[in-house]
């Protein structure tokens, strides 16, 4: 059934003449319209125009449409969370006091906690347990206005469990309203059983896991945690190049904790995105701007690890297309609140209210290769539409830490009301 949304104060379409990920001042183009209605039909956006124009162009559709009254509210595209570790077993609240009293993230991980703890919990969890837990997380995402989520594997670190994580993501893509886009991240950590024999694990990923992921069509992207004590830039390069040969697009966890020339590596291997970048070098930022690598910034992780924030302002000013995401995971960022993360990007990375909207819609859609389908409201794009309970978009960041989501329409269907 068609849907007609009337009377909104503002419609943030995110439309622009720019094709592809946006940079610099392009990131501030909101395509803001007033006195227009939004007409949806099937899974698509039909037209955004004044009511009289819609009535003249699509008389039957307008007449038969279900009407939603958005008086006093605004409309914008569904949010795209382009970096999460969605499917995992267990939680890690026991690590919080350890970190608050001075233990570092890497110390906890090297002592067998951190990613290793979650790997154990994920290996222990059945398909159904993981599916049900993740289904509930996706319900939370949806309530906060996120309509597409990227999901990385990487808590199996053996084929059986990596495959189970990816298959859970695939089933959720088929069954849950939120769209789920999969990334293989076998190179998330070296599992305990390969300690001291790291090269053998790298070989296992390259010769065994990557071909199987590709053959089974379980992921579109291949990600590596390039970090001191995890995977070296050289190992990361080999894993990413091997993935490319199997048609998997490279992504990289780069320069998260210590500078390691991860941003430079992302530019060099033609990664679609480099993610985290808390301590990326000036040279790395320049290289990314030149290569067009999208910076996926995750200020929730800096907040939760109490680490310095990525230099988002500098990246935007340097011409890097910037996206923002939650990094939802049980260790360094257990939140699904992309709206709160937008707020952190404003307050702690100096990005503007307009830039963070672009970074969580258009640019985050491009970071998962979905820029042609979602991220803006325009004719023919997927009808992923939010109605937010604020009179203007600036209040989204002003009344911070709140969920302003009123109604969520996913692929033309009302899924949150
Ligand atoms: O993006 N840095 C590596 N991976 C995640 C954290 C994973 C975890 O702690 O469970 C991240 O921060
Ligand atoms: Fe991450």
**For ligand 1, mutation pick of 332, 333, 334, 335 (most atoms within 8 Å of CB):** 332
C-alpha to C-alpha distances, 397 to 28, 77, 279, 344, 359, nearest whole angstrom: 15, 16, 26, 9, 14
**CA 83 to ligand 2 centroid distance, Å:** 6
pLDDT at 35: 98
pLDDT at 385: 99
Q: In sequence order, which residues have a C-beta less than 8 Å from that of residue 138 and are 6 or more positions away?
A: 86, 149, 172, 176, 177, 178, 180
| N-terminal to C-terminal alpha carbon distance within the chain | 17
Q: Is 17 annotated as a binding residue?
A: no
Task: Fill in the DSSP letter of residue 58.
Answer: S
**CA 10 to ligand 1 centroid distance, Å:** 37
> pLDDT in tens for each of the 417 residues of the chain?
999 999 999 999 999 999 999 999 999 999 999 999 999 999 999 999 999 999 999 999 999 999 999 999 999 999 999 999 999 999 999 999 999 999 999 999 999 999 999 999 999 999 999 999 999 999 999 999 999 999 999 999 999 999 999 999 999 999 999 999 999 999 999 999 999 999 999 999 999 999 999 999 999 999 999 999 999 999 999 999 999 999 999 999 999 999 999 999 999 999 999 999 999 999 999 999 999 999 999 999 999 999 999 999 999 999 999 999 999 999 999 999 999 999 999 999 999 999 999 999 999 999 999 999 999 999 999 999 999 999 999 999 999 999 999 999 999 999 999
Residue nearest to atom 9 of ligand 1 (CA): 331
Tokens standing for residue 46: 């039909």
Residue nearest to atom 6 of ligand 1 (CA): 332
What secondary structure does DSSP assign to 359-404, as a single string?
Answer: HTTHHHHHHTT-TTTSSS--TTSB--EEEESSSSTHHHHHSTTS--
User: What is the gyration radius of the CA atoms in the chain, in angstroms?
Assistant: 21
Q: At which residue do the structure tokens 């002592």 appear?
A: 111
Tokens standing for residue 339: 């709206």
**For ligand 1, mutation pick of 188, 231, 306 (most atoms within 8 Å of CB):** 188
Q: In sequence order, which residues have a C-beta less than 8 Å from that of residue 194 and are 6 or more positions away?
A: 200, 201, 204
* Tally of CB atoms within 10 A around 207: 10
Q: In sequence order, which residues have a C-beta less than 8 Å from that of residue 329 and are 6 or more positions away?
A: 84, 85, 88, 118
pLDDT at 387: 99
Rounded-to-integer distance, Cα 406 and Cα 417, Å: 6
pLDDT at 62: 98
| Predicted model pTM | 0.98
Tokens standing for residue 45: 């956006």
């Amino acid at each position: 059934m068609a849907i007609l949304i009337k009377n909104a104060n503002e419609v943030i379409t995110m439309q622009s003449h720019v094709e592809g990920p946006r940079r610099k001042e392009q990131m501030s183009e909101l395509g803001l319209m007033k006195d227009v209605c939004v007409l949806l039909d099937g899974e698509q956006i039909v037209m955004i125009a004044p009511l009289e124009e819609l009535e003249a162009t699509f008389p039957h559709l307008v007449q038969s449409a279900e009407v939603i009254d958005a008086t006093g509210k605004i409309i914008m595209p569904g949010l795209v969370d382009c970096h999460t570790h969605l499917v995992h077993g267990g939680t890690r609240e026991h690590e919080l006091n350890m970190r608050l009293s001075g233990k570092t993230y890497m110390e906890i991980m090297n002592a067998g906690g951190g990613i290793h703890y979650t790997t154990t919990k994920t290996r222990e969890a059945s398909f159904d347990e993981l599916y049900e837990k993740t289904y509930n997380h996706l319900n939370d995402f949806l309530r906060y206005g996120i309509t597409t989520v990227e999901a990385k594997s990487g808590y199996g670190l053996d084929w059986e469990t990596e495959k189970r994580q990816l298959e859970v993501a695939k089933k959720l893509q088929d069954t849950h309203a939120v769209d789920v886009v999969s990334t293989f991240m076998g190179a998330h950590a070296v599992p305990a059983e390969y300690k001291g024999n790291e090269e053998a694990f790298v070989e296992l990923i390259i010769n065994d896991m990557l071909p199987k992921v590709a053959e089974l069509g379980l992921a579109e992207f291949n990600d590596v945690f390039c970090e001191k004590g995890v995977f070296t830039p050289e190992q990361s390069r080999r894993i990413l190049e091997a993935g490319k040969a199997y048609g998997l697009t490279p992504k990289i966890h780069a320069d998260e904790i210590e500078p390691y020339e991860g941003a430079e590596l992302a530019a060099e291997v033609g990664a679609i995105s480099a993610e985290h970048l808390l301590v990326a070098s000036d040279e790395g930022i320049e290289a990314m701007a030149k290569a067009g690598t999208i910076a996926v910034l995750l200020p929730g992780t800096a907040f939760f690890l109490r680490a310095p924030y990525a230099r988002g302002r500098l990246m935007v000013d340097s011409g890097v297309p910037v996206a923002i995401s939650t990094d939802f995971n049980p260790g360094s960022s257990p939140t699904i609140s992309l709206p709160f993360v937008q707020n952190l990007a404003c307050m702690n990375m100096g990005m503007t209210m307009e830039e963070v909207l672009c970074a969580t819609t258009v640019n985050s859609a491009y970071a998962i290769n979905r820029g042609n389908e979602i991220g803006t409201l325009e004719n023919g794009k997927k009808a992923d539409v939010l109605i937010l309970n604020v009179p203007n978009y600036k209040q989204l960041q002003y009344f911070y830490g709140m969920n302003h989501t009123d109604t969520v329409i996913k692929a033309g269907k009302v899924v949150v009301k």
